[in-house]
Amino acid sequence: MRYLTPAITRDLRKKMVLLAGPRQCGKTTLAKSLLDPRGEYLNWDIQRDRKVIRDLAWPKDSSLVVLDELHKAPKWKNLLKGVVDEFGNSPPLLVTGSARLDAFRRAGDALTGRTYFYRLHPIDLAESRQFLPAESIQHRIDRLLTAGGFPEAFLNPEEAMRLRNDRMELVTREDLRDLSRLTSWRGPADLIELLRERVSKPTNFDNLAQSLGVSPPTSKAWVELLEKLYIVFLLPPYSKSLARSIRKDRRIYFFDCAAAYDDTGASQLENLVACSLLKFTQFRQDTFGETWGLFYLRDKEDREVDFVVTLNRRVHWLIEVKSSDADLSGGLKYYTEKLKPAESIQLVRNLERPLEKSGSRILPLGRWLENLSFNVSSKA
């Protein structure tokens, strides 16, 4: 059972549910796991299913209807609006699809008030216990850093590199073509390779454009497409109530936490934490409607904090990530005093025991990430 199963099961009793997320992160598997013998699974890519969907001909006494890849249908939002207006929530409807589902959902209001929306993420450390219950935290961290969190790769680490390459190529060849008017996928594919060298670094569109031989607006547009396709996500700088000395570039991370080209492992470790925090904040947003934000912080004096997590626009967590350094980060100490967060935390992968210094807690990274809660009834 994936972490979203209880929340989606709850909400299907009330409204149609849309489920988006990266390709191959387990959306179809999750949806099919909710079906009982009276449920119906229909895929727009299957011709015989397409006619059933177009004619709204599924049995109306079904316990659940899953419509997969529906975003490929012409005017799919109007189709769903008509279904809801005519049949209400009987039977319950779960619509799954790739990133286009999210992109098109944001483009108009045909479904406003008629749906709940969820984003499924790859496996993180908290969820990894369910898949490898007998393994230690450190073993599961190693697995995530080498294989990533996409289910097939995580469970078959020896195939992870090949699966990653296949997934990237599939997204750039097919999904990119569907989502944009690009006639060639080669440029964005080259961009992905460049970004894998820049994980956790500021995104400079001028430098990317020069490396790719395109204009800065084109490089920016390509990065935005990769965001919509759930290949990468970019963290903005946190700047509320701070001087204008804060650096403005956004930082790049991959949904595949093992995608970085990084000999030291520092970028991959930071990417793993970024994925966990994004998954947690979006879970709280999608499940409870809470207002969470995820940022980074760095000023022109190079004082920085890896992650700033806000709740209701107030700083909830300041988080610094280290491999083995138990000395408190100077940037974390400075901004803890300045911003006064609810919690200031330095997460260390290799740490003998928890410490507390200057108002900040220095904690084992694995234990803290593993305890992030994805319970539909729990408080943050």
For tokens 């944001």, the residue is 106
Q: Is residue 375, in this structure, part of any structural domain at all?
A: no
Q: Are residues 178 and 75 in the same domain?
A: no
Angle at 364 between CA 360 and CA 366, to 5 degrees: 130
Q: Are residues 51 and 146 in the same domain?
A: no
How does DSSP assign 310-324, residue by residue? Answer: EETTEEEEEEEEESS
Q: Are residues 199 and 282 in the same domain?
A: yes
Say yes or no to pLDDT of 104 above 60: no
Report pLDDT for 312: 93
Question: Reduced to 3 DSSP states, what percent helix, strand and coil does the chain have, rounded to the nearest 5?
Answer: 45, 20, 40
Tokens of 124: 């993180």
Report pLDDT for 109: 59
pLDDT tens for each residue of 132-166: 999 999 999 999 999 999 999 999 999 999 999 99
Three-class SS state of 341? coil
Last residue of a domain, one of 119, 140, 165: 119
Q: What is the phi-psi region of residue 119: left when phi exceeds 0, alpha when psi lies from -120 to 50, beta otherwise?
A: beta
Question: What's the predicted TM-score (pTM) here?
Answer: 0.93
Distance of CA 180 to the CA centre of its chain: 21
Q: Is residue 378, in this structure, part of any structural domain at all?
A: no
Last residue of a domain, one of 119, 151, 168: 119
Q: What is the mean pLDDT of the chain?
A: 90
Q: Are residues 178 and 318 in the same domain?
A: yes
Beta bridge partners of 237: 296
What is the four-CA torsion angle of 190, 192, 198, 203, rounded to 10 degrees?
90
Report pLDDT for 82: 85
How does DSSP assign 243-289, residue by residue? Answer: -TTB----EEEESSTT----SSSHHHHHHHHHHHHHHHHHHHHHHH-
- E strands along 108-188, which residues? 115-119
Mutual angle of helices 99-106 and 216-228, in 10-degree steps: 110
Contact 231, 262 (CB under 8 A): no
Beta bridge partners of 19: 96, 118
Q: Are residues 115 and 129 in the same domain?
A: no
Give the number of domains in the chain: 2
Q: Is residue 377, in this structure, part of any structural domain at all?
A: no
Report pLDDT for 173: 80
The CA distance from 96 to 103, in Å, is 13
Say yes or no to pLDDT of 366 above 80: yes
Cβ burial of 32 (10 Å; 0-12, 13-18, 19+) is: middle
Q: Are residues 27 and 79 in the same domain?
A: yes
Q: Are residues 89 and 214 in the same domain?
A: no
Q: Which residues of 268-280 are buried (b: 16+ CB within 10 A; e: fewer)?
A: bbbbbbbbbbbbb
Q: Are residues 255 and 107 in the same domain?
A: no
CA distances from 85 to 56, 172, 297 (A): 13, 36, 46
CATH code for the domain in which residue 49 is found: 3.40.50.300
Q: Are residues 107 and 199 in the same domain?
A: no
Task: Write the DSSP symbol of residue 345.
Answer: E
Say yes or no to pLDDT of 72 above 60: yes
The CA distance from 174 to 93, in Å, is 26
Q: Is residue 379, in this structure, part of any structural domain at all?
A: no
Say yes or no to pLDDT of 178 above 80: no
Residue 174 structural domain: 125-370
| Poorest-pLDDT segment among 110-114, 205-209, 333-337 | 110-114
pLDDT tens for each residue of 234-288: 999 998 767 666 777 899 999 999 999 987 889 999 999 999 999 999 999 999 9
Tokens of 356: 């507390």
Q: Are residues 109 and 137 in the same domain?
A: no
Q: Are residues 60 and 156 in the same domain?
A: no
Q: Are residues 70 and 139 in the same domain?
A: no
Last residue of a domain, one of 90, 119, 148: 119
Helix (H) or strand (E) segment spanning residue 137 = helix 137-147
Mean of pLDDT values over 318-342? 93
Beta bridge partners of 307: 319
Contact 70, 64 (CB under 8 A): no
| Poorest-pLDDT segment among 8-17, 40-49, 236-245 | 236-245
